[in-house]
């Protein structure tokens, strides 16, 4: 199951864990990425908390936790090579995995068609 | 994630190259009241590298272009008049040369920074986009007794920057390679009268070219068609100028910073200093002379943070990881593609020496940050042999 936030994060549900990253639209808006800061494994985050930071040449942006939960794994390879996010934002460019705290929160997120409509309206 | 872009305002102005940028795939952003290209398809880092290694074409038509002409017909009278507003020697500026200048206020703060060129019969000034309305009004108010101020909204301004800029421009402006850094000439380009200055805002050799708006697109197309020339947006313009240690008005300097604080004392020639031929006689003279003599309480410096995270405009600087009172702040910061590390500049208290480590506040952390001399990248200007 793939879900999206209004803030351009994506979330893929794999059992009781969600993989989180930023969308192609988001990485495209940011441009060349130069720095990523990830949360600590074990951190408890609430929906809407800034959980990670991504910086381009020009600007720093927060990546928000899309739901409540515990960070169980982070993708160190994007810290070494932030360009991975640009080349494969929905795959190898994932940011962190979190244990889903409140499954009901998933229902408040957008599906792919709804997200595509949001992006289209932003143009 | 947070949205980096603001919504477009509909009242933004467009440069004569607006359509050209859009067709070239530019990402347009609002800047200083204009739709401007932030970057093109290749992205900011590739554009930045291209300017350092070849030649890049920038649209800077948002900037203000002004002619200051003495009604007496004596070109030196315009120099004398403008000297009353800047701590800069303009009377000794030779015809065909330009100089960096600062409009100061009564407290010694900086109203704008500008390039002033001495043309055969007048002065030609390029001022910041965000200040051009205010500058025009101010100059008219202050100089109306002796001078006419004309603003050239009918002209575009292009910058061609990089080690291959002269080679690329030579085809359209034969002889342009003979200009030295800070030389200015009227030259025919595509059959029209243009003003070419060998200067820029990147730390590289290059030119700024004032052209009639009607030929701007054709000229830009012809330049961009050359193999060594790529289009460059404002994003790379900012990282290039920051690596070159050059100030951005509104970020690094403004009405609350003096030339001495901003480490721009070099722009005040000897003739305008207390022991010079024409000492003072500009707004803020008292404060600026006091600071030239005693030093200012803070100064602009280069900043190199540890690690890969850029420190940005507004970040506070502390003497230690725990100190409560800041000792300075960052005024510009980004990732420097040529340096391949974050670069920044900002103001610190005068007591803190070059080489010292301060701590920059970044997301509840404090990043060790070294005070370094500017620029970060050695300039590559074509200085005159004289």
Per-residue pLDDT at B8: 52
Measured from the Cβ of residue B163, the count of other Cβ atoms closer than 10 Å reads 17
Please state, rounded to an integer, the average pLDDT across all residues of chain B.
Answer: 96
Spell out the per-residue pLDDT of chain A, length 123, in tens.
999 999 999 999 999 999 999 999 999 999 999 999 999 999 999 999 999 999 999 889 999 999 999 999 999 999 999 999 999 999 999 999 999 999 999 999 999 999 999 999 876
Helix (H), strand (E) at residue B83: helix B75-83
In this prediction the pTM is 0.94
Whole-angstrom distance, CA of residue B281 vs CA of residue B311: 39
The CA R_g of chain A, rounded to the nearest whole Å, is 13
**Segments making up each domain of chain B, as ranges:** 297-372
B341-354 residue pLDDT tens:
999 999 999 999 99
- Residue B384 scores a pLDDT above 80: no
Strands (E) located in chain A:
2-4, 9-14, 17-22, 33-37, 44-45, 50-56, 60-64, 69-74, 96-100
Q: Which residues pair with A12 in a beta bridge?
A: A2, A19
Beta pairing, strands B298-305 & A44-45? unpaired
Non-local CB neighbours of B292 within 8 Å, separated by 6+ positions: B260, B265, B268, B273, B274
| CATH placement of domain B297-372 | 2.40.30.110
- Comparing CB atoms, the residue among B1, B43, B309 nearest residue A62 is B1
Please tell me which residue of chain B has the smallest CA distance to A52.
Answer: B1
Model confidence band, residue B10 (pLDDT cutoffs 50, 70, 90):
low
Burial bucket for residue B183 (CB in 10 Å: 0-12, 13-18, 19+): buried
For A2-101, CATH gives: 2.40.50.100
Bridge partners of B342, per DSSP, are B335
Q: Check residue B5 and give its pLDDT.
A: 44
DSSP summary character for residue B380: B
Tokens encoding B22 = 């859009």
State whether residue A49 sits within 8 Å of chain B by CB. Answer: no
Which of A9, A32, A55 lies closest to B310 in CB terms?
Answer: A55
Query: Which chain A residue lies closest to B340 (C-alpha atoms)?
Result: A34
d(CA B359, CA B324): 12
DSSP state of B270: G
Is residue A84 reached through a cis peptide bond, with omega within 30 degrees of 0 on the bond before it?
no
Residue range B330-336: mean pLDDT, rounded? 97
Please state, in angstroms and rounded to a whole number, the distance separating the CA atoms of residues B160 and B209. Answer: 8
Cβ A87 vs Cβ A33: under 8 Å? no
Tokens of B90: 């303009």
Report the percent of chain B where pLDDT is more than 70: 97
B71-117: pLDDT as tens digits: 998 989 999 999 999 999 999 999 999 999 999 999 999 999 999 99
A91 at B interface, C-beta within 8 A: no
Q: What is the pLDDT of residues B292-316, one digit of tens each?
A: 999 999 999 999 999 999 999 999 9
pLDDT for residue B186 is more than 50: yes
Domain boundaries, chain A: 2-101
Confidence at residue B364, expressed as pLDDT on a 0 to 100 scale: 87
The beta-carbon neighbor of B4 closest among A9, A35, A59 is A59
pLDDT band at B4 (very low <50, low <70, confident <90, very high): very low
Q: Residue A114's pLDDT is what?
A: 96
- Supply the Cα-derived Rg of chain B in whole angstroms: 21
Q: Do A29 and B4 touch (CB under 8 A)?
A: yes
Do the Cβ atoms of A58 and B5 come within 8 Å? no
B305 chain-A contacts, CB cut-off 8 A:
none
């Amino acid at each position: 199951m793939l879900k999206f936030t209004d803030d351009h994060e994506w979330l893929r549900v794999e059992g009781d864990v969600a993989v989180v990253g930023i969308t192609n639209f988001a990485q495209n808006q940011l441009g060349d990425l130069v720095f990523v800061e990830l949360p600590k494994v074990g951190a408890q985050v609430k929906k809407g908390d800034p959980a990670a930071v991504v910086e381009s040449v020009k600007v720093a942006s927060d990546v928000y936790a899309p739901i409540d939960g515990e960070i169980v794994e982070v993708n160190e390879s994007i810290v070494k090579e932030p360009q991975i996010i640009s080349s494969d934002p929905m795959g190898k460019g994932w940011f962190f995995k979190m244990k889903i705290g409140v499954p009901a929160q998933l229902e408040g997120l957008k599906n792919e068609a709804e997200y595509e409509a949001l992006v289209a309206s932003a143009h | 994630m947070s949205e980096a872009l603001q919504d477009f305002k509909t009242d933004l102005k467009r440069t004569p190259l607006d359509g050209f940028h859009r067709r070239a795939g530019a990402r347009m952003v609002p800047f200083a009241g204009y739709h401007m290209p932030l970057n093109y398809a290749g992205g900011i880092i590739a554009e930045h590298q291209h300017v350092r290694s070849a030649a890049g074409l920038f649209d800077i038509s948002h900037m203000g272009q002004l002619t200051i002409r003495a009604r007496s017909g004596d070109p030196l009278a315009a120099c004398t008049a403008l000297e009353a507003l800047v701590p800069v020697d303009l009377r000794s500026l030779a015809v065909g040369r330009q100089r960096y200048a600062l409009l100061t206020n009564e407290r010694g703060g900086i109203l704008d920074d500008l390039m002033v060129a001495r043309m055969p019969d007048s002065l030609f000034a390029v001022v910041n986009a965000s200040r051009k309305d205010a500058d025009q009004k101010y100059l008219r108010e202050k100089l109306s007794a002796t001078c006419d101020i004309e603003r050239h909204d009918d002209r575009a301004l292009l910058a061609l920057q990089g080690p291959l800029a002269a080679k690329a421009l030579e085809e359209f402006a034969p002889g342009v390679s003979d200009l030295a850094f800070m030389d200015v000439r009227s030259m025919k380009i595509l059959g029209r009268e243009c003003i070419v200055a060998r200067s820029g805002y990147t730390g590289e050799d290059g030119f700024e070219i004032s052209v009639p708006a009607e030929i701007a697109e054709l000229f830009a197309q012809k330049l961009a068609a050359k193999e060594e020339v790529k289009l460059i947006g404002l994003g790379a313009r900012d990282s290039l100028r920051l690596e070159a240690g050059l100030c951005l008005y509104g970020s690094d300097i403004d009405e609350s910073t003096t030339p001495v604080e901003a480490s721009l004392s070099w722009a005040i020639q000897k003739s305008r200093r207390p022991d010079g031929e024409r000492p003072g006689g500009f707004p803020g003279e008292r404060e600026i002379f006091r600071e030239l003599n005693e030093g200012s309480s803070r100064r602009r410096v280069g900043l190199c943070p540890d690690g890969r995270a850029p420190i940005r405009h507004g970040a506070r600087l502390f003497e230690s990881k725990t100190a409560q009172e800041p000792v300075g702040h960052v005024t510009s910061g980004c990732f420097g593609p040529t340096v391949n590390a974050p670069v920044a500049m900002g103001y610190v208290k005068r007591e803190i020496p070059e080489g010292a480590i301060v701590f920059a506040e970044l997301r509840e952390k404090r990043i060790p940050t070294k005070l370094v001399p500017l620029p970060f990248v050695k300039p590559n200007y074509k200085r005159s042999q004289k």
